Amino acid sequence: MLSKSIAAIAAAMFFVAPGDIRVQAAGTYDPGASDSEIKIGQTMPYSGPASPYGTIGKSEAAYFRSLNEKGGINGRKISFNSQDDGYSPPKTVEQTRKLVEEDQVLFLLNSLGTPPNTAIQKYMNQHQVPQLFVATGASKWGDPQHFPWTMGWQPTYRSESIIYGKYLLQHNPNAKIGILYQGDDYGRDYLDGLMTGLGDKAKSMIVKQVSYEATDPTIDSQIVSLQGSGADVFLDFSGPKQVAQAIRKVFDIGWKPLHIINSISVSVSAVMVPAGPERAAGILSTAYLKDPTDPQWENDKARQDWLAWMKQYYPEGNIADVYNVYGYSVAETAEQVLKLCGNELTRANVMRQAASLQHFKPPMLLPGIEINTSPTNFYPIRQMELMTFNGKTWVLSGEILSD
């Protein structure tokens, strides 16, 4: 009975309505925080098959350097420790244990990849260390009942593919759909969402689905197989490397389906340029961030501020790479959470504040899209906008959609 009472009190302390949050006392700390410092950890694939994402960690490191130059957050400097895991779950586990047990970070921020984060999710929750704003759209990151120390940031893969399904039902209800997906939770989330979006018509519209492994050197055989199925719509739920390969192969074999790619692989510099932008004209996707290559944002103050920041703090970064916008915006959200924590820098308060964001609008989010969380909603962004690649840049449709 006593243990149940303690659990109830702990739950009440963990999730409090935003208006009731108060800093209990100055200088309340867990490991990783002090009067002068906040330690944040991360794993990121700076090498290996997912290395194009590595610039996310670099842009976040640059953001925290820029914050430190201005005095930090509430007078505390950020110590950001980002380790290369090569997108290898065993290495993620090794690096995460070191960050938590030896380096004693306050929390992990935006560690990348569905398989790597899956490998550490139970560990992070057992040790009650925030696994905050994970850099993957798997739906499993929004389960506060079972994993209260894990939260996503970007729209889920499932939500995104529901949008694609609804779009096809409205604009191409007789489509013959071929699907390429990564053979793990990341790819299966997209498949599940598409099935939901298509509803009863999923069985008749999907003519073939094939998978690949992240370590596969090419996906050429899968593309040829999909072409042979007679599909006239190609849904590509793949990482940047595989999407670039698919764009080239589709073009080279003369296949001309409606080509839809997932939002995590839309970078002009990391995907379209390697593929050949002229080969990618007409491809459809979704967005929630401002594309720095889009001419419509040329005079946008948020873009101008971001460009000035890139020039000063991450000059080696590619200003055409939307992953740098992503990293900047995630770090900005983490800054907001830490500001709200005030002097109560405990792991529980980090999660409490992360689960209390209301109408937060990082300037590089598309107009009309905002961040909202609650103790029962661990999906910060749930809106997206359709867009088409014109051979040079992405062109937005103007319609904000949600699942």
Please indicate, yes or no, if residue 392 is contained in any of the structural domains: no
pLDDT value at 231 more than 90: yes
Together in a domain, 329 and 280: no
Q: Are 237 and 206 in contact (CB under 8 A)?
A: no
pLDDT digit string (tens) for 67-109? Answer: 999 999 999 999 999 999 999 999 999 999 999 999 999 999 9
CA-atom Rg of the chain in angstroms: 21
Whole-number Å distance between alpha carbons of 245 and 255? 14
Residue 73 inside a domain? The answer is yes
CB of 124 closer than 8 Å to CB of 108: yes
Q: Return the pLDDT at 26.
A: 60
Q: How confident is the model at residue 398, as a pLDDT?
A: 82
Question: Residue 14 gets which letter from DSSP?
Answer: H
Residues 202 and 130 in one domain: no
Same domain, 279 and 162: yes
Here the CATH number for the domain that contains residue 276 is 3.40.50.2300
pLDDT at 399: 83
Q: Give the helix ranges, DSSP H, for 172-272.
A: 185-198, 202-205, 220-228, 240-252
The residue assigned the tokens 């090794």 is 94
How much is the pTM? Answer: 0.84
Residue 49: the pLDDT is 86
- What distance lies between CA 196 and its chain's CA centroid? 21
The mean pLDDT value for 374-397 works out to 94
Q: What is the mean pLDDT of residues 214-234?
A: 96
Q: What is the mean pLDDT of the chain?
A: 92
Strands 284-287 and 28-29: unpaired
279/181 same-domain check: yes
Domain, as residue range, for 32: 22-155+301-383
Model confidence at 249: pLDDT above 50 = yes
Residue range 127-147: average pLDDT? 96
The percent of residues in the chain predicted with pLDDT above 70, rounded, is 94
Task: Please report whether residue 200 resides in a domain.
Answer: yes
pLDDT at 6: 38
Bridge partners, 44 (sequence order):
84
Arithmetic mean of pLDDT, 278-293? 95
Residue 401's pLDDT is: 86
pLDDT-based confidence at 27, cuts 50/70/90?
Answer: confident
pLDDT value at residue 185: 86
In a domain, 391, yes or no: no
Distances (CA, A) of 11 to 148, 291, 301, 346, 348: 10, 40, 42, 15, 10
Q: Which of 228, 261, 287 is the last residue of a domain?
A: 287
One domain, residues 151 and 161: no
Query: Does the residue 396 lie in any domain?
Result: no
CA atoms within 13 A on the CB side of 120: 37
Query: Which of the four pLDDT bands, split at 50, 70 and 90, describes residue 214?
Result: confident
- 101 and 30 within one domain: yes
- Residues 75, 135, single domain; the answer is yes
Question: Model confidence at 382, in pLDDT bands (50, 70, 90)?
Answer: very high
Structure tokens of 48? 């290996």
Residue 11 pLDDT > 60: no
Pick from 17-31, 32-46, 225-239, 359-373: least confident: 17-31
DSSP 267-301: -IIIIIHHH-GGGGTT-EEEESB--TT-GGGTT-H
- For 43-75, give the DSSP string: EE-SSSTTGGGHHHHHHHHHHHHHHHHTT-BTT
For residue 293, the model assigns a pLDDT of: 85
Q: What is the mean pLDDT of residues 180-201?
A: 94
Looking at residue 98, what DSSP letter applies?
I
Number of domains comprising the chain:
2
Of 211 and 9, more confident: 211
Phi and psi at residue 135, to the nearest 5°: -90, 70
What is the average pLDDT across 223-247?
97
pLDDT band at 344 (very low <50, low <70, confident <90, very high): very high
How many angstroms separate the CA atoms of 201 and 307, rounded?
Answer: 45
CA distance 145 to 316: 42
Confidence of residue 207 (pLDDT cuts 50, 70, 90): very high
Q: Are residues 310 and 336 in the same domain?
A: yes
| CA–CA separation, 341 and 320 (whole Å) | 34
Q: Above 80 in pLDDT, residue 4?
A: no
